[in-house]
Amino acid sequence: MNSDSHAQDVLAEYADAAKSIHASQRFRAETLRKIRMADAMQPRQESKQTRAEEDEPAVLVQTKQPAKPISHAESSKKARLQSFLATAAAFVLVSGTAVMLYQKAKEQQSVTPSPNSTASSAASNAAAPSYAKSLLEDYQSTRSQLANQFAQAEPLFNRLFAAMNPPTPESMEVLTATETALSPMQQSYLQLESQRQKQVDALCQADDVILYDAVYHADGKLELCIANGTDETITVSRGCSLVEVSKNQPISGKIPSLDRNGTELMPHSVGMLTMEGISQNLSAEKQYCLTLFNCGFRYDGTDGGSRSIVFSAVDSGQNLPEMMLASETWRNYSLETNKPTSHPQLEVLEKLNAKERIQALQECIPAYRFTSEVCTFSPQIRTSGTLDNGLREIWYLTDDGTAFAECLNGEEYHFYCLNATNGTINELFLAP
Partner 1 sequence: MQRRRVEQAFSEYVDTVLRAAWHVTGEMHAAEDCTQEAFLRLLAASDAMEEDRVLPWLLRTAINLAKDYLKSAEHSRTVSLEENDTFMQTNFSPRDESIMNLVMQLPQEVRVPMCLHFVEGYSIDETAEMLHIPRSTVASRIRRARKKLKELTKFNSQERRMHAHEF
Which residues contribute to the site for partner 1 (CB under 8 A)? 3-4, 6-7, 10-11, 13-23, 27-28, 30-32, 34-36, 38-39, 430
Which three-class secondary structure string do you get for the chain? CCHHHHHHHHHHHHHHHHHCCCCCHHHHHHHHHHHHHHHHHHHHHHHHHHHHHCCCCCHHHHHHCCCCCCCCCCCCHHHHHHHHHHHHHCCCCCCHHHHHHHHHHHHHCCCCCCCHHHHHHHHHHHHCCCCCCHHHHHHHHHHHHHHHHHHHHHHHHHHHHHHCCCCCHHHHHHHHHHHHHHHHHHHHHHHHHHHHHHHHHHHHCCCCCEEEEEEECCCCCEEEEEECCCCCEEEEECCCECCCECCCCCCCCECCCECCCCCECCCCCCCHHHHHHHHCCCCCCCCCCEEEEEEEEEECCCCCCCEEEEEEEEEHHHCCCCCCCCCEEECEECCCCCCECCCCEEECCCCCCHHHHHHHHHHHHHHCCHHHHHHHHHHHCCCCCCCCCCCEEEEEECCCCEEEEEEEECCEEEEEEEECCCCCEEEEEEEC
Supply the minimum distance, in Å, between the C-beta of residue 3 and partner 1.
4
Q: CB of 371: closest distance to partner 1 in angstroms?
A: 19
Kindly state the smallest distance separating residue 31's Cβ from partner 1, in Å: 5
Nearest distance from C-beta of residue 32 to partner 1, angstroms: 7
Q: For partner 1, give the closer residue by CB, 21 or 126.
A: 21
Return the number of the residue (30 or 54) whose C-beta is nearest partner 1: 30
For partner 1, the closer CB: 4 or 170: 4
Q: How far is the CB of 45 from partner 1 (least distance, A)?
A: 13
Kindly state the smallest distance separating residue 36's Cβ from partner 1, in Å: 7
Nearer to partner 1, 10 or 52 (CB): 10
Q: Which is nearer to partner 1, 21 or 284 (CB)?
A: 21
Q: Residue 40 or 210: which CB sits closer to partner 1?
A: 40
Nearer to partner 1 (CB atom), residue 31 or residue 287:
31
Minimal distance, residue 30 CB to partner 1, in Å: 7
